[in-house]
């Protein structure tokens, strides 16, 4: 059972992981910023401070996959104006976190959702641009470090090659729109896109990274208005790469999920 705020109910056909909701602030904006995290430590704390300092036109909603590192303390949440923390208790990884958070945001009435990784790699100032695009009528906005005006800082070579030579061409071909950075989780979605029954993102088939890839290809297939905008993504120079995908097996699994999305396996 989902433990949401008292005024939040979900359609019976939405399959969501069990989760707990802590609402800390009232709604102030028409768009939400969803930040998926799990044990991001000081990276998420620093990122929340940057978001707060930038005074962005979004309400911050954290989608916690079950962190145990104590990084999301009440003082940092209060100091950075986080609106809500959703903590997943049911099964699944990133896609389950996103299903949980997107469903909650839609039921709260948000007109659109921007997602940014919680590991501090992305420049938060682009969030305002995502919101502008959604307000102007775009339905799916993909951030790209490779577009003119974007920056790819210290990106591992295998990431660049895999993205530019395999992942982006595959997603572009399947989605009938040209993209350059489809592994990038910095993106935005309109309310009408996520609520379209031909999209149906609230299904338990989305457990790992499938939802990101599926939403990329499905937008173009259904003729939604799609845009790619330049963003900056920086990897630390003297630290391990901040990622949850380590080892050959997990990387091959992600590739299989992308291929499944391209083949139409997840279409309702």
Task: Kindly report, residue by residue over 233-244, the tens digit of the pLDDT.
Answer: 988 776 655 555
Beta-bridge mates of residue 166: none
Q: Where are the beta strands (DSSP E) in 100-252?
A: 112-115, 140-144, 151-153, 187-190, 226-230, 232-234
Q: Nearest to residue 200, comparing CAs of 16, 34, 4?
A: 16
Q: Nearest to residue 39, comparing CAs of 124, 118, 123?
A: 118
Which residues are within 8 A (CB) of 254 and not within 5 positions of it... i.e. 6 or more apart? 208, 209, 245
Whole-model pTM? 0.91
Q: Does residue 119 surpass a pLDDT of 80? A: yes
Question: Any idea which architecture 19-262 has in CATH?
Answer: Alpha-Beta Complex (3.90)
HSE-CB at 147 with a 13 A cutoff on CA atoms is 16
Task: Give the dihedral of Cα atoms 186, 35, 110, 112; nearest 10 deg.
Answer: 0
Task: Kindly report, residue by residue over 46-68, the tens digit of the pLDDT.
Answer: 999 999 999 999 999 999 999 99
Task: Kindly report, residue by residue over 155-183, the tens digit of the pLDDT.
Answer: 777 778 777 888 899 999 999 999 999 99
Q: Nearest to residue 232, comparing CAs of 111, 143, 107?
A: 143
Q: What angle do CA 218, 117, 146 make, to 5 degrees?
A: 70
């Amino acid at each position: 059972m989902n433990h949401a705020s008292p005024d939040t109910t979900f359609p019976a056909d939405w399959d969501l992981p069990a989760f707990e909701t802590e609402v800390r602030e009232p709604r102030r904006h028409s768009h939400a910023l969803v930040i998926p995290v799990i044990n991001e430590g000081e990276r998420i704390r620093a990122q929340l401070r940057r978001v707060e300092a930038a005074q962005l036109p979004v309400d911050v909603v954290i989608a916690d996959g079950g962190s145990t590192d104590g990084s999301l303390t009440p003082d940092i949440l209060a100091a950075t104006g986080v609106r809500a923390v959703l903590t997943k208790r049911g099964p699944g990884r990133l896609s389950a976190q996103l299903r949980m958070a997107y469903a909650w945001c839609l039921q709260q009435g948000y007109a659109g959702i921007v997602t940014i990784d919680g590991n501090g790699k992305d420049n938060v100032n682009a969030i305002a641009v995502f919101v502008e695009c959604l307000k102007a009528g775009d339905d799916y906005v993909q951030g790209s470090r490779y577009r003119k005006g974007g920056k790819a800082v210290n990106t591992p070579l295998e990431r660049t090659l895999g993205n530019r030579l395999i992942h982006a061409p595959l997603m572009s071909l399947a989605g009938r729109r040209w993209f350059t950075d489809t592994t990038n989780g910095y993106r935005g979605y309109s309310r009408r896109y996520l609520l379209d029954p031909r999209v149906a993102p609230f299904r338990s088939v989305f457990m790992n990274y499938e939802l990101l890839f599926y939403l990329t290809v499905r937008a173009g297939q259904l003729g939604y208005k799609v845009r790619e905008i330049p963003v900056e993504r920086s990897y630390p120079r003297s630290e391990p790469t901040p990622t949850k995908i380590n080892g050959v097996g997990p990387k091959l699994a992600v590739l299989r999920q992308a291929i499944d999305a391209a083949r139409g396996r997840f279409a309702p």
